[in-house]
Amino acid sequence: MNAFLYVLVVLIWGTTWIALKWQLGPVPIALSIAYRFGLAALLLFAWLLWRRQLVVPRGRARLWVLAQGLCLFCLNFVCFLNASRSVASGLVAVVFSSAALWNALLARLVHGRAVAPQVLGGGALGLMGLVLLFWPEIASQHAGTSTLAGLAWALGGTLCFSTGNLLSAALQAEGLKPVQTNAWGMAVGTAILLGYALLAGQPLAFDPGPRYVGALLYLAIPGSVIGFTAYLTLVGRLGPERAAYSTVLFPVVALNVSAWAEGYRWTAPALVGLVLVMAGNVLVFRRRRAALPPASPTAPSPRPRGLA
């Protein structure tokens, strides 16, 4: 079951980046995200009511749901959409794959889990890989500043995503299912984004064009209802660190889609950078072999089988 969830998340989230890019246009970013998660929340609430599984979070779980909605269904996508303004969607997905490292580091800060040497080594490899992937854009006189800004937005969105992972793990430890917390979290994110749009005086614009509507439906149903439920189920089963391992394969899918849809061109440094990013993520989750305990000097040596 875990393998199926991994494949499902990789295929869905590896292709949502181009849909995010297609939402950029006359509709303000905050409203595009609000439309996505508002629709997804309505579908999840309808499902929960039909299954008679709707639960209202109480106590500290209510605060965690509010924080999850802010981090996972609001701020991170504001960051990702702003990043997509200046860099290819596939490159944003590569930055997002560093969530594996951020999850491990945040688990250290929040839960006090020791950071293994391979996590630090994987982080160093990933950083070198990101530099190589972005080097053609950084070196360009025309896009250097905007590319650096896009990279900063993408890193900020990834950090928000990782924070939401830890909050989801805490909520599942309280006995709440991802589909339940996602419904409330998406509703919270939608309310925050709509409130911001109204305060900022943004008109309630909507693009009826087929590309925008198609991207919205894909992001709301497969990308949000299915993708987030599958991914956060992995978070509950495996922990936020190991669940984020699925992000290792996102760049492979996303960059190939970007090459087809956006004209992204592979270069030798980019290929090397992609390999380093993926190797770094794999290294982060490589399990260390447990050392064998020293033999007791007083313990008798075991006799070979078959001998008296």
Q: Is residue 294 part of a domain?
A: no
CA distance 195 to 269: 43
On whether the CB atoms of residues 80 and 20 are closer than 8 A, the answer is: yes
pLDDT of amino acid 72: 92
Q: Is residue 293 part of a domain?
A: no
Q: Is residue 308 part of a domain?
A: no
Q: Per mean pLDDT, which range of 162-176, 205-219, 251-265 is the poorest?
A: 251-265
pLDDT of amino acid 146: 77
Q: Is residue 56 part of a domain?
A: yes
pLDDT of amino acid 45: 97
On whether the CB atoms of residues 90 and 264 are closer than 8 A, the answer is: yes
CA distance 72 to 228: 10
- pTM of the complete model: 0.77
The pLDDT tens digits of the residues spanning 182-210 come to 999 999 999 999 999 999 888 889 999 99
Number of domains present in the structure of the chain? 1
pLDDT of amino acid 302: 46
> Percent of the chain having pLDDT more than 70?
80
| Nearest residue to 29 via CA among 218, 247, 196, 178 | 196
Q: Is residue 137 part of a domain?
A: yes
pLDDT of amino acid 297: 46
Q: What residues make up the domain containing 37?
A: 2-284
- The 3 state secondary structure assigned to the chain is CHHHHHHHHHHHHCCHHHHHHHCCCCCCHHHHHHHHHHHHHHHHHHHHHHHCCCCCCCCHHHHHHHHHHHHHHHHHHHHHHHHCCCCCHHHHHHHHCCHHHHHHHHHHHHHCCCCCHHHHHHHHHHHHHHHHHHHHHHHCCCCHHHHHHHHHHHHHHHHHHHHHHHHHHHHHHCCCCHHHHHHHHHHHHHHHHHHHHHHCCCCCCCCCCHHHHHHHHHHHHHHHHHHHHHHHHHHHHHCHHHHHHHHHHHHHHHHHHHHHHCCCCCCHHHHHHHHHHHHHHHHHCCCCCCCCCCCCCCCCCCCCCCCC
CA distance 154 to 231: 20
Q: Is residue 289 part of a domain?
A: no
Q: Is residue 264 part of a domain?
A: yes
pLDDT of amino acid 292: 41
Q: Is residue 176 part of a domain?
A: yes
